[in-house]
Structure 1
Amino acid sequence: MPDPSVRARPVLLFNRGCPPCVTISRLAAALSFGVVARVPLDTAAARDFYRRHPALEGMPVLVDGENVSAGKAIFVALPRVLLAHGYRRARALAALRRPDPSRKT
């Protein structure tokens, strides 16, 4: 059974038709060392997100679980996203290394 603390990758929603948005998304993905996945607006996931958050429509948006950052604030949120991702990965690895207490040796 997978650890519930390990969530999907953080995603950055961006508009392919907006050159500054493409540049921002590429830069953010590079600064995140590949942790953040770039997702264009024409995908179903992006349409669903913007349907729930109409005020953010058209802006690059970084989504990490319940945390949402939009516009230039994505660069401020990147360190938090990287630390949270690293913490979740470390917990998942620690859970794998922990011996099963019900198993007798």
Structure 2
Amino acid sequence: MIKKLLIWIATSQILIVLLCFLIYRNIHLLSYINVSFVAGAALILYAMAGYVVKGRFFDIVFYSFQYFFSRMSNRDRRPLSELAPQQYRIPFITGCTAIVFMLGSLCIYYLSS
């Protein structure tokens, strides 16, 4: 799990730097702060949405939509929490790491200006 987490963190940081270069055409500390905030927030929101879905919050609504709009047998119906991906911890930790790096960069930016 640690190796997979480090791969996710390294990949996200490489993508953040590449997006800085693609969006801003150069790499500055402020552009890194902006892009890492958006990337970290997106990863955290993705993980929290997975956590809510996995927590069986929407199962009854999903089951009623399946019952109303399809002609499945009761045996074929599965709750949404079984269909959702199981891994939400790694994107959450990666997003939190990106936010921590962003906050560190923000402190450096304010101290240097």
Higher helix residue share: 2
If asked which structure has higher relative contact order (CA below 8 Å, sep 6+), I would say: 2
TM-score between the two structures when normalised by the length of structure 1:
0.38
Higher strand residue share: 1
Higher Cα radius of gyration: 2
TM-score between the two structures when normalised by the length of structure 2:
0.36
